[in-house]
Amino acid sequence: MIHAAEFQEALKLECLVSSTKDVWDFRTPDLNRPGMQFCGFYEYFAFERPQVIGKVEMSYLEKQPAEERRRILEKYFSYNIPCVVICRNMTPPAELLELAAKHNIFVFRSSAVTSKFTVSAIHYLNRCLAPHVVRHGVLIDVYGVGVLLTGKSGVGKSEAALELIKRGHQLVADDVVDICRISDDRLIGSCPERVRHLMEIRGIGIIDVQAMFGIGAVSFSKSIDLILELTAADEDVPVDRIGLEDHRVEILGVSVPCQSVSLKPGRNLAIIVEAASRNLSLKRSGYNAVRGLSSAFQA
């Protein structure tokens, strides 16, 4: 569900005609430009999408005689359109505003050119309509790599994140990570607004990371590129010491690399997380240390 007020605020729109239909049940993040409909072709009219009127559509309407323009718009607004957005700060014909009000349809105006507004609107709708799931963990931006620390409650995820923040990395979410799939192979993690920038440290309580370390210590969202599962020292978990196997975890249909890290006395977890992040970046660039070592032995 998309709320009209949130749509207007996010895309910085001016409301020209209001409506009581302020909640929209969109099924796709796509838009529709009604040039073909103004010419009379309604066979494949995607009326359920937001309608975008650019310079081409507006010029066509303005060149029509008043009676013909009203006839075109009467048929157009007879469909159950959620809203119309007029780009380039153009002034719409009086008939358009009149008929939109008559049919209880929102009309907004944007100062952006049509192409830029279209990109922004599709990106916004894509984020709103993307599949969501909430996971327990801590999401940190480490050297540009989104690292999701998981593990049992009390294992030390927040303490590890705090050490990473001290080393210059950014906190995205602590304890509650809101994950959405924005494409077939990409996940974005963020923090619910009520607990944004807050972190729980056992024995101390709740701290505000932004107030304590500055705005550079936090980030609003980050892609989830790597999952590090933290396990206690007494847990009998098999560990791949060489790193030859490629372990992955599926979230919302997206496969994410996953590694298990055992927390034993004396281990500096912050350095391990940094090393894992840099190693993933190297693998993405085409270099794999294990394969390089294997090739050297074979030679």
Q: Looking at residues 20-32, what average pLDDT do you find?
A: 91
- Is pLDDT above 80 for 224? yes
Which tokens belong to 80? 């159950």
For this structure, is 166 an active site residue? Answer: no
Residue 55 annotated among the catalytic residues of the structure: no
Catalytic residue among 27, 63, 194, 241: 241
- In this prediction, residues 274-298 reach a mean pLDDT of 78
- The percent of residues in the chain predicted with pLDDT above 90, rounded, is 66
Q: Is the pLDDT of residue 5 over 90?
A: yes
Let me know if 184 is a catalytic residue. Answer: no
Structure token pair of residue 184: 């077939």
- One of 136, 152, 247, 284 is an active-site residue; which one? 136
Residue 207, beta-bridge partner list:
199
User: Tens digit of pLDDT for each residue in 256-279?
Assistant: 999 888 877 777 888 999 999 999
What's the pLDDT tens digit per position in 51-74?
999 999 999 999 999 999 999 999
CA distance 36 to 45: 8
Per-residue model confidence (pLDDT) at position 132: 86
| CA torsion, ordered 120, 125, 128, 133, to nearest 10 deg | -100
The one catalytic residue in 157, 169, 197, 222 is 157
Q: Which of 21, 88, 175, 196 is catalytic?
A: 175
Average pLDDT of the chain is 89
The region, left, alpha or beta by phi > 0 then psi within -120 to 50, assigned to residue 215 is alpha
Express each pLDDT in 112-130 by its tens digit: 999 999 999 999 998 888 8
Q: What pLDDT, on the 0 to 100 scale, is given for residue 295?
A: 60
Does residue 212 have a pLDDT over 80?
Answer: yes
Q: Which of 155, 146, 139, 154 has its CA nearest to residue 277?
A: 146
Q: State yes or no: is 157 an active-site residue.
A: yes
